[in-house]
Amino acid sequence: MATWKIDPAHSEIKFKVKHLVVSTVTGQFKTFDATVESEKSDFSDAKISFWTDVNSIDTRNEQRDAHLKSADFFDAENHPKINFNSKSINKKSDNEYEVVGDLTIRGVTKEIKLNVIYNGTVKGFGGGEVAGFEITGKLNRFDYGLQWNALTEAGGIVVGDEVKIEISCELTKVNG
C-alpha cells in the first residue's frame, strides 16, 4: 500500500460562488491536508482523506472572510474543519475518474461526486514520486446549513446557492 500526502506549496483548494447573480467571487482555503492510500499505481483503488481549516478562508476581503467564518455561514467556532472521505472511485478513462465521498461542512455530512483528472506521476526533485490531479465539483450550500442570504433592492439574491469546487493538487509519495 502506497501512501501519498498533499503538497500544500503546490496545491490550491478554491471555490466559486455567484455574487449579485452577475459576478463570481473566488475564494480559497490556505490550510489543508490530505492523505491518499492506493495499491494501484493509477490510483483507481485510492482511499482519500482530506480536511481544511475553515479559519484559513481567503476571498481577498477581510470583512467577507469574517462573515463567512461566522454562524451565518461556516460557523468556524463550532465547526473549524471541512472534511472529505472517499467511498468509491469510478475510472472513466485512462486519466478521468469520478470520486464519490462524504463531505462534512458545518457538522452536516452529504455525499458528493467529484470529477478528477489524473495528470500523471513523475520523479520530483530529490527523486521522490509526485502525482498531479485536477478536481472539480459543485454543491448546494443550503444542503450544508449555509443558509444566509439577502436580497438586493431589485429583488436579486446576494449569494448564489451553487458553489463550484476547483482543486489542483500535487501529491508526494511518502511510503510504499
- Containing structural domain, residue 86: 2-175
Q: What pLDDT, in 10s, does the model give residues 37-83?
A: 999 999 999 999 999 999 999 999 899 899 889 998 899 999 999 99
Coil, strand or helix at 11: coil
Spatial distance between the Cα atoms of 121 and 22, rounded to a whole number of angstroms:
39
The CATH number that applies at residue 10 is 2.40.128.110
Q: What is the pLDDT of residue 22?
A: 58
Q: What pLDDT, in 10s, does the model give residues 121-163?
A: 999 888 899 999 999 999 988 888 776 564 444 444 456 678 9
Quickly list H helices, the chain: 62-69
Q: Which three cell numbers stand for residue 34?
A: 490530505
What's the number of domains the chain is made of? Answer: 1
pTM of the model: 0.90
